[in-house]
Structure 1
Amino acid sequence: MNKRMIIYILGKMLGVEGVVLLIPAFVSLLYWEKSGFSFLIVSAILGIVFLIFGRKRPKSTRIYGKESFAIVALAWLLWSLFGALPFVISGSIPNYVDAFFETVSGFTTTGSTILQEIESLPMGINFWRCLTHWIGGMGVLVFVLMITSLDDENSMPLMRAEMPGPEADKLVPKARNTAAILYGMYFVLTAVEVVLLMFGGMNLYDALIHSFSTAGTGGFNNRNTSVAFYDSAYIDGVITVFMILFGVNFNLYFLLLLKDWKSVLKNEELRAYLGVIAASVTVITINILSIYENVFHAFRYAAFQVASIITTTGFYTADYELWPELSKAILLVIMFIGACAGSTGGGIKVCRFVILLKSIRQEIHKILHPNAVTVVKLNGKKVGQDTLRGINVYFAAYVFILAASVLIVSIDNFDFATSFSGVLTTINNVGPGISKVGPVENFHMFSPLSKIVFSFDMLVGRLEIIPFLLLLSPALWRKKF
């Protein structure tokens, strides 16, 4: 275990966060808000941390898989711990546990909140809230790798440990170039959405923070009634399309740049993802038709909410708690499924379900034909045993953490739908759940213990469980410096 290198990289990463905090500080300055000083104070603290831990490179710089997982888990935890300080120092969220919950929800792009009144927040503070979505969407480590000089030998293990999905691959030979390409595509899509939202009547500030949240599939914004505030079919349509786009594996966009249309069109995960969306929108539109004026309105609200839930964005334009039980059940199911691997969306990921279904079919085929040689394939390629084993371990750990979290949260004595969907929505990084944590409610009424559990679930869900479980393993830390 190369602990000195871990400390060095973490020191460097915290220095980057200190620089990033200057952005909301500048926004606060533009609006003449005192909250800007809170960002400057934390930025200065992180600058000192960088000078102490992140400047002197250790003699031994090599890191392996276990160090990468530890760095990823610790980086997300530390960014959240320090990122919460501006909320507390400015007085916007005086309670640190609440501020930590809000920051974790931001970086993990969950979008769950403890805030009952959003529109009264200082502009700089709310900008920071939504900016955490944009940074966390593609990944804290990917963001840092893009703008620092960490060598390629160490960069790829970090990217693989952080990128969502069973596997993560380079787009180009150098990991840092891969990070730059990912963020380049991410930036362009975000910029296009900003422009389109401004065409719909949003001012630049509103367009930026809604685009940050859409890009990161997070859900924070500056309106108490979310996107429903605008009551605009155009804005709903733009955000719906971009939520779906950001839920697609970014590797496919790179293939589009290479004009490899065949690989994109044949991608099984993409087809399953779009198929689930189409089927869900169709059924829900029919199911809620009696509630709305016509088919167009029913389709508009169904499409928006399906896109918001399956991509784990968490925006809402309608209170789906008032919808029929079938519609709510469908939303709960796609909350489990989530978006594509390699996207900014959360959830279990579509490709895992595709592989799981193929594995079940393979087992049935083996029973019927004992001598047959069968393999599980995805996009024409054989799925390795390590990947299959990893998926099985992931599902087992997911169920265990889900059950344990529900038991702890149940101490607060809310109804089962509230406790279960609260855990489910946080571990899948969705945002709103059902019942008392539905789209027009939030998490303010839970105890500090439950909020810590929810924060843990958000981090575990975003990092796909294993990095945080390794972080809690004593065996990881036994070796000396």
Structure 2
Amino acid sequence: MNYGIVLKVLGNILLVESTLMVPALCIAFYTGGYDKFGFMITILITLLIGSIMSRAKSSRSTISAREGLTIVTLGWVLASLLGALPFYISGSIPAYIDAFFETVSGLTTTGSSILTNVEALPYGSLFWRSFTHWIGGMGILVFTIALLPALGIGGFQIFKAESPGPIADKIAPRIKDTAKILYVTYFALTIVTVISLRMGGMALFDSLLHAFGAVGTGGFGMRNNSVGFYSSSYIHIVLGTFMLLSGTNFSLYYAIFKGKWRDVLKDEELRLYLGIIFISVVAIGVNLALTSYSSIFLAFRDSYFQVTSIITTTGYSTADFDLWPSFSKAILFVLMFIGGSAGSTAGGMKIIRVLILGKLIKRDVAKMFHPRAYISIKNGGRTVPNETIVSINTFFALYMIIFAISTILISLEGIDLVSASSSVAATLGNIGPGLGFVGPMRSFSEFSFASKALFSFLMLLGRLELFTILALMAPKRWASEA
């Protein structure tokens, strides 16, 4: 293990994080918030630690797979530990475990919260809380990757461990160019979202925070009743649409920019993604119109918003869907596991894995009639390698095992099975709200210290797609590569 290069990159990540806290500090000073000193102290601490670590000497500039995994895992943990300090030092979130939970939830774009009165937070803390979504959506490490070449360090192993989905594809030949393309797309989506919300009459500050949550697929609201505070159907539809766009593979936007419309239209993952959303919106909309809503338009509006919010793992809400019929809640619960597209800011298991699992089932059924036939699994006209298929099967099995074990552990809190299972699904899938005890109008505040720590671990585990963290917990693997 080259500890020098690990410390050097981690130090640079902390320097980036300290810089990203400056806008929140400025807002705290401008509004006269009591949290300004919390941001000042945290920035100084983060700068100091980052400066010391970034000066570490390294014997080589390349990063191995093991070092990449270590940097990604520790990078997220360190960013969360220090990112929680402004809340804790200022007293806006008095308990550190709560501040840590909130920060992990923000950076992993989960959106689960321990706050019972969000509107009581000062503006600086409100901004930082939502800004962590925007930072974590594309990944603070991807941003750092764009800067690493200037330090003479290659970043592919970090990009590979950081990328959401079973395959880490580069858009451009060089990793730093890929990172820059992703961030240009990210910036563009954010700006257009802010402008669209402003056109609907939403205040600039509100528009910024909701854009951070929608494009980062995070879901931290700045009102106690989330987006339901805004009675405008225009705002609901705009946010729903940008959540849908942010749950789409970002490489497709680059393909559109290059004029490759045919490739985009043929993309199987995109087709399945849009198909699932369409079927879910229609099914829930009809169910609501027949049972709970007097207006068909409002039934389909809320259905569209909530489906896009859950499948993209954003977690915003316009209505208390925990009060919806069981049929509608069951669909939303299933969407919690599916998630958005690979290469997007969304969490969950990812559409591409569901697509390939479906093809595997179809192949095995076909082989029952033709046992000796060779049937390859293809995606986009290309044969999916066996190692990728094995990885997807392993991921699915591991995901369900972790879900089952965690649900059992959380049930020790004495809550009902629906609440226990949905709270785990909401944190492991980086969704935000769940059902029952953790419904959209409630919070995670009443859970014990141990459960909050477990939820925080699940959020990190889900954001880093299980293997990144678990690989570091395999001592035999480490010993064999020592």
Structure 2 residue aligned with 1:99: 99
Structure 2 residue aligned with 1:221: 221
Correspondences of 1:2-81 after superposition (within 5 Å):
2-81=2-81
Report SS of the residue matched to 2:354: helix
Report SS of the residue matched to 1:119: helix
Corresponding letter in the other structure for 1:243: M
Bigger drift between 275-284 and 148-157 goes to 148-157
Indicate the percent of aligned positions where both proteins have the same amino acid: 47
Q: 1:90 to 1:352 in 2, by over 3 A?
A: same
Bigger drift between 37-46 and 302-311 goes to 37-46
Q: How far did 1:154 drift?
A: 2.5
Q: How far did 1:120 drift?
A: 1.0
In 1, Cα distance between equivalents of 2:120 and 2:480: 50
In 2, Cα distance between equivalents of 1:277 and 1:411: 35
In 2, Cα distance between equivalents of 1:247 and 1:2: 36
Report SS of the residue matched to 2:6: helix
Q: How far did 1:370 drift?
A: 2.0
Q: 1:457 to 1:150 in 2, by over 3 A?
A: farther
Aligned pair count reads: 481
Matched, 1:425 2:435: no
Bigger drift between 145-154 and 176-185 goes to 145-154
Q: How far did 1:480 drift?
A: 11
In 2, Cα distance between equivalents of 1:398 and 1:153: 33
In 2, Cα distance between equivalents of 1:477 and 1:369: 43
Matched, 1:333 2:338: no
Bigger drift between 351-360 and 365-374 goes to 365-374
Corresponding letter in the other structure for 1:38: G
CA contact (8 A) 1:152 1:176 kept: no
Structure 2 residue aligned with 1:231: 231
Report SS of the residue matched to 1:433: coil
Task: Identify unmatched segments of 5+ residues in structure 2.
Answer: none
Q: Deviations over 1:224-280 (max 9, x none)?
A: 010000111010011011000000000000000000001100000000000000000
Corresponding letter in the other structure for 1:314: G
Task: Identify unmatched segments of 5+ residues in structure 1.
Answer: none
In 2, Cα distance between equivalents of 1:262 and 1:151: 39
Matched, 1:139 2:143: no
Q: How far did 1:61 drift?
A: 2.2
Q: Deviations over 1:366-389 (max 9, x none)?
A: 232122121000111110011111
Q: 1:331 to 1:480 in 2, by over 3 A?
A: closer
Corresponding letter in the other structure for 2:135: I
Corresponding letter in the other structure for 1:326: F
Report SS of the residue matched to 1:348: coil
CA contact (8 A) 2:61 2:152 kept: no
The alignment yields a C-alpha RMSD, in angstroms, of 1.5
Q: Deviations over 1:360-414 (max 9, x none)?
A: 1112222321221210001111100111111111112111211221122111111
In 2, Cα distance between equivalents of 1:25 and 1:282: 44
Q: 1:209 to 1:125 in 2, by over 3 A?
A: same
Q: 1:41 to 1:402 in 2, by over 3 A?
A: same
Q: What TM-score, normalized to structure 2?
A: 0.97
Q: How far did 1:425 drift?
A: 0.6
In 1, Cα distance between equivalents of 2:97 and 2:153: 37
In 2, Cα distance between equivalents of 1:480 and 1:284: 51
Q: What TM-score, normalized to structure 1?
A: 0.97
Consecutive aligned runs of 4 or more in structure 1 exceeding 3 Å deviation: 147-153, 475-481
Q: 1:48 to 1:259 in 2, by over 3 A?
A: same
Structure 1 residue aligned with 2:206: 206
Q: Deviations over 1:302-353 (max 9, x none)?
A: 0000000000100000111111111010101111111000000111001101
Corresponding letter in the other structure for 1:47: L
